[in-house]
Amino acid sequence: GIQVEQSPPDLILQEGANSTLRCNFSDSVNNLQWFHQNPWGQLINLFYIPSGTKQNGRLSATTVATERYSLLYISSSQTTDSGVYFCAVEWRYGNNRLAFGKGNQVVVIP
Partner 1 sequence: DTGVSQNPRHKITKRGQNVTFRCDPISEHNRLYWYRQTLGQGPEFLTYFQNEAQLEKSRLLSDRFSAERPKGSFSTLEIQRTEQGDSAMYLCASSSQGFVEAFFGQGTRLTVV
Residues at the interface with partner 1 (CB under 8 A) = 4, 30-31, 33, 35, 40-43, 45, 48, 50, 86, 88, 90, 95-103
Nearer to partner 1, 38 or 76 (CB): 38
Nearer to partner 1, 4 or 72 (CB): 4
Nearer to partner 1, 30 or 78 (CB): 30
Whether the CB-CB separation of 34 and 86 falls below 8 Å is answered with yes
Q: How far apart are CA 25 and CA 7, in angstroms?
A: 12
N-terminal to C-terminal alpha carbon distance within the chain = 41
Q: How far apart are CA 52 and CA 106, in angstroms?
A: 24
Residue 37 CB, nearest distance to partner 1 (Å)?
A: 9
